[in-house]
């Protein structure tokens, strides 16, 4: 029988297809894994209101039931979290990870969608910090999220990113990737990886940013796929960088508001 490699995402639905659970499941497939999903929120975008995002959290008891279904088959090879939507949902996720002795846990601490600049829900952000970071194999905050989790506020240099990574590691995450992306000034896209001992700086040229919707979710899902396949964390992150860069390059313009990545870009380039 084929050995099935299992991956799980606990995240929101992005009906526009580029981010959220849609990004995760497509990426899991590209990594040759069998994807499970527990839906936490439904996000809609309104073309009549400048693509305003509406976020509808699902009742935490229904999230718990989904996780009970999934873990009835035992722990998965690796999992990730994305948009969680409420403190109660964060608690349910914490409990499921602990009860099922789940390892290879990627926490993507989603606090905002691109283009929206208010923290979705500050209490959820704090719950992720306090309850999920101690369980994280790796956490993947963007510049904004790293500022919130570390308490440093606005980060504007590589030195700031390193300091934030160290503080976030101190909160219990075993590995931290602070994604500078296009938010950091300069002409390079810089990510800082910290494992508690050493820093690695991942750098790439900044590329045409119009087709990057879903890049953050796809990056975390790619790390999850790599870990599920047995890659060491550093290699999983390095491959995920290549994977997401190819996905951005292969992205398309959906409408006047959004350009999603194409999750199959890495495969098509080979
Ligand atoms: O990119 C952040 C994000 C995460 N999860 C869901 C989303 C978005 C942004 O649109 O819709 C479900």
pLDDT tens digits, one per residue of 163-212: 999 999 999 999 999 999 888 888 888 999 999 999 999 998 887 668 99
- Give distance in angstroms: CA of 23 to centre of ligand 1: 9
Atom 8 in ligand 1: which residue has the minimum CA distance? 113
- Whole-number Cα distances in Å, 126 to 110, 111, 149, 151, 153: 12, 10, 8, 11, 14
Mutate to test the pocket of ligand 1, among 11, 17, 20 (most ligand atoms within 8 A of CB): 20
Closest ligand 1 atom to 12 CA? 12
Q: How far is the CA of 171 from the centre of ligand 1 (A)?
A: 25
Query: Residue 220's CB: how many other CB atoms inside 10 A?
Result: 30
Output the pLDDT for position 113: 64
CA 19 / ligand 1 centre spacing (Å): 5
**Confidence at residue 185, expressed as pLDDT on a 0 to 100 scale:** 82
- CA distance linking residue 50 with residue 54, whole number of Å: 12
Give the number of other CB atoms < 10 A from CB of residue 153. Answer: 11
* 208, burial (CB in 10 Å: exposed 0-12, middle 13-18, buried 19+): exposed
Domains and CATH numbers, the chain: 6-269 (3.40.1190.20)
| Per-residue model confidence (pLDDT) at position 1 | 80
Contact of 140 with 219, CB cutoff 8 Å: yes
How many Å lie between the centroid of ligand 1 and the Cα of residue 112?
A: 8
CA of 2 to the centre of ligand 1 (A): 33
Nearest CA to ligand 1 atom 6: 20
Res 194: pLDDT: 98
Residue located nearest, by CA, to atom 3 of ligand 1: 113
Q: Which residues of the chain have pLDDT under 70?
A: 113-120, 208-209
How many angstroms does the Cα of residue 228 sit away from the middle of ligand 1? 23
Per 3-state DSSP, the chain is made up of helix, strand and coil in percentages (nearest 5) of: 40, 20, 35
What pLDDT is stored for residue 11 in this prediction? 98
Atom 1 (ligand 1) nearest CA: 113
Site to substitute for ligand 1 among 12, 42, 57, most atoms within 8 A of C-beta: 12
For atom 10 of ligand 1, the residue with the nearest CA is: 113
Q: Are 190 and 165 in contact (CB under 8 A)?
A: no
Residue with the nearest Cα to atom 4 of ligand 1? 20
CA–centroid distance, 217 to ligand 1, in Å, is 8
pLDDT at 210: 82
How confident is the model at residue 142, as a pLDDT? 95
List pocket residues of ligand 1, CB cut-off 6 Å.
Answer: 11-14, 19-20, 43, 82-83, 110, 113-114, 216-217
Contacts of 99 (CB under 8 A, 6+ apart): 71
Whether pTM > 0.85 for this model: the answer is yes
- pLDDT at residue 122, rounded to an integer: 82
Cα of 16 from ligand 1 centre, angstroms: 9
**pLDDT reported for residue 114:** 56
For the CA of 53, the nearest atom of ligand 1: 10
For 217-232, how does the pLDDT look when each residue is reduced to its tens digit (9 = 90+)? 999 999 999 999 999 9
């Amino acid at each position: 029988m084929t050995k099935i490699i299992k991956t799980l995402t606990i995240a929101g639905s992005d009906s526009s297809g580029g981010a959220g659970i849609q990004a995760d499941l497509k990426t899991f497939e590209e990594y040759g894994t069998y994807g499970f999903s527990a839906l936490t929120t439904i996000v809609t975008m309104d073309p009549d209101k400048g693509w305003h995002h509406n976020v509808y959290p699902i009742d935490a008891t229904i999230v718990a039931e989904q996780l009970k279904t999934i873990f009835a088959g035992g722990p998965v090879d690796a999992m990730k979290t994305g948009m969680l939507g409420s403190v109660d949902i964060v608690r349910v996720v914490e409990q499921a990870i602990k009860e099922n002795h789940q390892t290879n846990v990627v926490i993507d601490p989603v606090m905002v969608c691109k283009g929206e600049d208010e923290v979705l829900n500050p209490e959820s952000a704090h719950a992720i910090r306090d309850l999920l970071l101690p369980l994280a194999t790796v956490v993947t905050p963007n510049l904004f999220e790293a500022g919130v989790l570390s308490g440093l506020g606005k980060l504007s240099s590589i030195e700031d990113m390193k300091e934030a990574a160290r503080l976030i590691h101190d909160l219990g995450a075993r590995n931290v990737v602070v994604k500078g992306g296009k938010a950091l000034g300069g002409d390079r896209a810089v990510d800082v990886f910290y494992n508690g001992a050493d820093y690695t700086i991942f750098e790439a040229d900044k590329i045409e940013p119009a087709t990057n919707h879903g890049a953050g979710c796809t990056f975390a899902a790619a790390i999850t796929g790599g870990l599920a396949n047995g890659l060491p964390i550093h290699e999983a992150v390095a491959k995920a960088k290549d994977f997401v860069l190819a996905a951005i390059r292969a992205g398309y313009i959906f409408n006047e508001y959004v350009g999603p990545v194409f999750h199959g870009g890495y495969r098509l380039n080979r």
